[in-house]
Structure 1
Amino acid sequence: MASSFIPECVDTINVPDVSPQDIQDFSVFEGAKPCHMATFAHKSCNNPEAIYFRTRPEGSESEEIYHVASTHDLEAIRVTYLTGKGKGNVIDTYTPIEYDEDIHGKRRDGGAICTIDANGEEFFQVFRLLPGADDQSHQLESWTAPGTLSRSIRVTHDESKLFYMCNARNGKDMDLYMRHLRNRPADEPEHGTMILERNGQWVLGQINNDDSQLMMYNTVSASKIDLWLYEIKTGELEKVVLPTDDDNNAGIRILGRFSKTDPNIIYLTTNWKSEYTSIVIYSIDTKLPRPITTPTLKESILPIAWPCHGFVSATKILIDAKVDGYDELYAFDIESETVKKVDIPESMKGQISSVGTSELDPNLAIFTLDSVASPGVIYQLNLESLQLKPYKATSASKTQHPVGFPKLVRYKSFDGLEIPAFVYLPAKYNGISIDSIAADDKLPVVIYMHGGPASQHTPAYNPRLYLQYFVHTLNCCIIAPNVRGSSGYGKTYMEADDGVKREDSVKDIGSLLDYISSDMPFLDSSRIAAMGRSYGGYMTLACMTHFSHRLKCAVETCGISNWVTFLETTADHRRAHRRHEYGDESDPVMREFLHKISPISSVDKITIPCFMSHGRNDTRVPFSEFEQMKDILQKNNGADSVWAFMADNEGHIYRQKSVSDAQVVCMVLFLKHFL
């Protein structure tokens, strides 16, 4: 039975009642409302400072869209009333438009084209939003069918047409659709017309300034993304191929942004001739690239041996470099080819997202910045003066809870590979080096493994997992390693766990256990828990099979228990992409290997308690992965050894605040009991 703190859409097993004291302890950490998805308002507003952003209204389950006119405004205006209806709904993208026309040619001013998911399944549909003053007066038209997935909304600069990718044809492949927003033909279907059939996972990039070309990406794998240029009038496709020994650019990721002023120039983000994604100038006419940040080429203007992404205005390229897990910004002047670094104070150091440049002012950019001490705040950046100004309406009040700032360590794995890991400790250890911590403190340890696997743990506010809540409530240490297979450390590092090398990343955790015992005497090596979600959930289950004798307990969310059944049942549109990462289960040799390394195949080796959590509508890692593992663990180790948390109307990521809050509190109750 669930306590009143746990919402009715959640079923639990063995989870005790959440006491008033538990709720009080948690409330200190859960009050922040991060801001996400910053985008400039439509140029017809004639206000270069005006933005839209996404945040959660007070008392609501999910996030909504808000509008603010300037950095000085203290209050934002709520625009949408779409979520918080007791389901895991989420607004994914929001593209403001000046107006469109209905089938009768009637003009409809304002609002946006957006994508919304209904109940956590991540089947995002295209909607036309005409906002009202409240939830009764807004209008919402569904332009694509439920159960289909639509991505990459792109509106032409003249706003006459909408382009997007959708899997409506067969549920698997993403095809290109076009819908008229103005002068719509009488026979055009509501969803528009499929104009280009594709096989695989395709997404859209930018449309160039004269609406003649559209970028399209074929996402083959985490290591390979092909860039194609689509001629809108003729329907012709041309692949962007960089000069290499391999004409097909195997193993190269190529993304791009059109120049705002030169129709012949694309600014690429690519790992061409480098381990890292770098910024490269590419001429459409000559087919020749010129490096800006590529660290391996001596002609690079600003060599940076870290992943970089570029965001283009008419005069500048704003370069975001991910340096050892933290973001740094550089402003590259296109005309003079000079570079200036943006001064981000040490106290604000963290993660940058939702970077955008203004259509009205070439020297204005916006981005969201969050750190371990501050949730997402939206900043305006003057690209000429490099002055930063926060949008006051997005600035949260100062954090009331204690904050432990992570320390970065590196340890050697079984084969000598160096693994970076962030170490979170209670706030009393701030300013104290790891080597100086008293050996008799003996803190318990939670090893947190990120998802992906081609992702990266980076220091952030992390409201979904509330790491600060864990650290300070349990008086523990959280170690978040970026094991091989993680992004952020180069192409070779990211590919080091592919295919038959899958369990090498699990061995990285074994080496971390050794490192804790030998090099971190202030930690209690007899009290260690493994924790992770998604791919990190698989890592947790795998650690339970390999290291039960070295762990006290484990906490997994949406984890893969059987590679074969996972690949056979994950959503159709994801399967080919996942096979590139994990291996093709339809191949008999690979199938045997995947079965061998699946946690469920070694479940008899698990001897420790486990907290298991899963959303019933998960389309990435289906709920059946949870059920089959839970049932066997209960049978083998006793019903009391498994605590379970099962959420209706939720998918791979819990979108409802009450569900997310309940999950992390239940995790802490489990760790208090078993760790």
Structure 2
Amino acid sequence: MGLSFLSHPVFSAPEAAWPYAADIPASQTLDVGLAGEQPVDIARFLLARGASQSSINSTGNQMAFVDNVTGRRQLWIKNLPDGQAKQLTWGNGISFYAWHPDGQRLIYGADNNGDEREAFFILNADGLKEKVLLPYSDGFRSFGSFSNDGEKFTYASTERNGRDFDIYLHDMKTGENKMIFQAEFGYFPQAWRPGSDEIIVTETRGEDAEDVYMLSAESGELRPLFKPDVAAAFSEFHWTDDGSKLYFVSNLNREMKAIFAYDPASKKTKQVIGSQFDIDDFIVCGQDSMLLWTENRDGIDTLLKKPVGSIETSEIPLPDGDYSISCTKDSTNVLVSINSATSPGEVYLIDAQSRQQTVVYRAEMAGISRKNLVNPVQVSFPARDGVTLHGQLYMPKGQEGQAPVVIDVHGGPTSQAKMGWQPLTQYLVGKGIAVLDINVRGSTGYGKTFTRLDNQERRLDSVRDLVDALTWMKTDKRLDANNAAVMGGSYGGYMVNAVMGKYPDAFKAGASFVGVSDWVRALKSASPALMASDRIEYGDIREQKWQDFYAVNSPINTVNDIKAPMFYEHGANDPRDPVTESDRMVKILRDKNIPVTYLRFPDEGHGVSKLENRIIFYRELAAFLEQHLKTQ
């Protein structure tokens, strides 16, 4: 990173214990075909790139963003509006970054090959001065926020005992770290109240909810602000400049997320903006004069604004996609990143008052013609118990007859399939295979009740939703429900493991990435951040009741019922779902002579981040799906 390669050692897990040497991926040659044509190699889709996680600095003259042009997630910077992009980090890839309040420096984190144990660094925006703030350790860390003067920042860490996220204060001048709150499970610092030592802190209450506190950095006193009887989500905390009001996003006492304001003096809370849709991103701009937010409308975002004190809300028209927004405190200039089905990330600079728009970063499409790309259509259909399920359906262009289909299951489970750049999906539809990016029960974006329909004993209801999707497809003349595969990563990988064993005749093939096979073992050995949320989503695995439940209801118990060919991918450094979760499935299936393709990456964790590994992964996966689905 920056100028300090040697401060970022690279570790690889030993492979001697794994008996199948052919499962350890080897390098491959790169042949991307001809520009402008429908790509015959998925590598060209993977080489298309754009800006992600873009944000504007406090002075409004620079944007930072993440790009993987080097094959790693690196930090870049660009003068606004029309400067040349400059790479700032150079090592093994970053995990997060944030602007310092002075707008001249950035803090970032980096781990070792996906182990999620981050070191923190501070780097000048010119890329010529860098310092280690927190060196690598065995602890997990989560960055909080800077004090308003930028002299201190907060973070959470498990360094004390390896399990609980305590809250720490780091002094930028002295380098001193001080624990200011000793926690149990998951407590995380959020926004620092201006002109005080008070910090908003959230406590994990399941995967989709938090309780909210005010913490004094000086005394360590933790005072509750919101601990509702019905758990609610809280995020996007923004103090006014004088610290007299706290804005936040929550579904407190309602189904969909809205914008609220809290007055610390009166201790009163009121809803400021509500909608029939979830509000996702939210910012306060122009010296507290302008509120801007995104509404999630069936997986496609809309940007809206409202002057403070006005009753009028207006939309800022932009191309369809998944948005992220940032602004400066002093102006109404808004930076909007758009990730869409036809672009891996473009950035707009918008004057929220005049609505004037300037594209400040264009995606590099690697010679792919956008006319060959497909936008999804929104679909909804009933499950057998009447619950409405949702998804985004990508159909091959010019399809004649019924198309084979892949159902893609997102991770989480508290996440959502939204419109975005999906290289594998675009490759498959170009080969005549439809893709349903499904939102089963438990997904976000459709209300608090829907998100909690898969909690604890209802876990297998969401697995059944995948089979009910096939039932719906049989009524749709565009799709061949009898020629379908299912794939997914993380929680989606568990879903694949589960549905292939519990409903062995439903799918022609399954592909599971970094998925759980044994919930008892996975929940007991989960990384600390997951353990903090798992207690409500899955049940507290320390209790015999849940050990008994998952001893029965885990894919490892139905693996012997799997009939169809399987594909597995797992990183040996995965701290969330250990690689042994896939190892056991693979060994059992091979003993049964079920065809299995397995990619066991020695230098990856909970996901495939390095470009050379991504090319291997997606090439093998695409070939597997094409082999087992009949294509015209």
TM-score under structure 2 length normalisation: 0.90
Tell whether the 8 Å contact from 2:202 to 2:211 is kept in structure 1 after alignment. Answer: yes
- Report deviation, 1:11: 6.0
- Which range moved further: 29-38 or 570-579? 570-579
Say what the alpha-carbon RMSD is for the aligned residues.
Answer: 2.6
Summarize the Cα distance change of 1:504–1:218 in structure 2 as closer, same or farther, 3 Å threshold: same
Aligned-pair identity (%): 23
- Report deviation, 1:151: 1.1
> Counterparts of 1:138 and 1:457 in 2: how far apart (Å)?
40
SS at match of 1:503: helix
SS at match of 1:62: coil
SS at match of 1:179: strand
Q: Does 1:219 align with 2:204?
A: yes
Summarize the Cα distance change of 1:51–1:15 in structure 2 as closer, same or farther, 3 Å threshold: closer
Q: Does 1:284 align with 2:240?
A: no
Summarize the Cα distance change of 1:625–1:218 in structure 2 as closer, same or farther, 3 Å threshold: same
Q: Does 1:660 align with 2:614?
A: yes
SS at match of 1:428: coil
Summarize the Cα distance change of 1:97–1:331 in structure 2 as closer, same or farther, 3 Å threshold: closer
Q: Specify the alignment match of 1:298 in structure 2.
A: none
1:272-312 deviation line (CA, Å, top 9, x unaligned)? 12111111122112222221233xxxxxxxx4343444211
Q: Does 1:649 align with 2:603?
A: yes
- Report deviation, 1:462: 2.6
Q: How does 1:175-324 map to 2 (within 5 A)?
A: 175-182=166-173, 184=174, 190=175, 192-241=177-226, 248-294=228-274, 303-313=275-285, 314-324=288-298
SS at match of 1:456: coil
Q: Which runs of 5+ in 1 are unaligned?
A: 1-7, 84-88, 100-109, 185-189, 242-246, 295-302, 430-437
Tell whether the 8 Å contact from 1:554 to 1:610 is kept in structure 2 after alignment. Answer: yes
- Which range moved further: 318-327 or 419-428? 419-428
Q: Specify the alignment match of 1:469 in structure 2.
A: 427
Q: Specify the alignment match of 2:328 in structure 1.
A: 358
Tell whether the 8 Å contact from 1:211 to 1:232 is kept in structure 2 after alignment. Answer: no
Aligned residue among 500, 509, 515 for 2:472: 515
Q: Specify the alignment match of 1:5 in structure 2.
A: none
Q: How does 1:431-580 map to 2 (within 5 A)?
A: 441-463=401-423, 466-473=424-431, 475-517=432-474, 519-580=475-536
1:48-104 deviation line (CA, Å, top 9, x unaligned)? 2321111123xx22022222111223x212222233xxxxx33312333659xxxxx
> Counterparts of 1:256 and 1:11 in 2: how far apart (Å)?
47
SS at match of 2:443: coil
- Report deviation, 1:546: 2.4
Aligned residue among 158, 181, 186 for 2:149: 158
Q: How does 1:74-153 map to 2 (within 5 A)?
A: 75-83=84-92, 89-96=93-100, 98=102, 111-130=105-124, 139-153=130-144
Q: Specify the alignment match of 1:26 in structure 2.
A: 42
SS at match of 2:504: helix
SS at match of 2:621: helix
Q: Specify the alignment match of 2:8 in structure 1.
A: none
- Report deviation, 1:454: 0.6
SS at match of 2:65: strand
Tell whether the 8 Å contact from 2:99 to 2:106 is kept in structure 1 after alignment. Answer: yes
Tell whether the 8 Å contact from 1:538 to 1:561 is kept in structure 2 after alignment. Answer: yes
Q: Which runs of 5+ in 2 are unaligned?
A: 1-13, 34-39
Q: Kindly provide the amino acid, as one letter, of the partner of residue 509 in structure 1.
A: L
Q: Specify the alignment match of 2:571 in structure 1.
A: 615
1:603-642 deviation line (CA, Å, top 9, x unaligned)? 121111101110000111111101111111111234xx01
Q: Kindly provide the amino acid, as one letter, of the partner of residue 660 in structure 1.
A: R
- Report deviation, 1:379: 1.6
Tell whether the 8 Å contact from 1:404 to 1:427 is kept in structure 2 after alignment. Answer: yes
SS at match of 1:216: strand
Q: Kindly provide the amino acid, as one letter, of the partner of residue 26 in structure 1.
A: I
Q: Kindly provide the amino acid, as one letter, of the partner of residue 90 in structure 2.
A: Y
> Counterparts of 2:23 and 2:87 in 1: how far apart (Å)?
39
SS at match of 1:460: coil
Q: Does 1:329 align with 2:283?
A: no
SS at match of 1:422: strand
Aligned residue among 375, 380, 383 for 2:344: 375
- Report deviation, 1:256: 4.9
> Counterparts of 2:30 and 2:243 in 1: how far apart (Å)?
62
Q: Kindly provide the amino acid, as one letter, of the partner of residue 619 in structure 2.
A: V
> Counterparts of 1:395 and 1:340 in 2: how far apart (Å)?
31
1:89-133 deviation line (CA, Å, top 9, x unaligned)? 33312333659xxxxxxxxxx543221112101112222335776
Q: Kindly provide the amino acid, as one letter, of the partner of residue 357 in structure 2.
A: L
What is the aligned residue count? 603
> Counterparts of 1:593 and 1:445 in 2: how far apart (Å)?
33
- Which range moved further: 541-550 or 8-17? 8-17
Q: Specify the alignment match of 2:593 in structure 1.
A: 637
Q: Specify the alignment match of 1:52 in structure 2.
A: 64
> Counterparts of 2:529 and 2:276 in 1: how far apart (Å)?
35
Tell whether the 8 Å contact from 1:71 to 1:393 is kept in structure 2 after alignment. Answer: no
SS at match of 2:522: helix
Summarize the Cα distance change of 1:275–1:51 in structure 2 as closer, same or farther, 3 Å threshold: same
Q: Does 1:673 align with 2:631?
A: no
- Report deviation, 1:573: 3.9
- Report deviation, 1:42: 4.7
Tell whether the 8 Å contact from 2:323 to 2:338 is kept in structure 1 after alignment. Answer: yes
> Counterparts of 1:594 and 1:659 in 2: how far apart (Å)?
33
> Counterparts of 2:112 and 2:27 in 1: how far apart (Å)?
30
Tell whether the 8 Å contact from 1:450 to 1:533 is kept in structure 2 after alignment. Answer: yes
> Counterparts of 2:487 and 2:442 in 1: how far apart (Å)?
17
SS at match of 1:30: helix
- Report deviation, 1:177: 1.2
1:317-349 deviation line (CA, Å, top 9, x unaligned)? 1111111111111111113243211112xxx20
Q: Specify the alignment match of 1:423 in structure 2.
A: 393
Q: Does 1:412 align with 2:382?
A: yes
> Counterparts of 1:559 and 1:352 in 2: how far apart (Å)?
28
SS at match of 1:118: coil
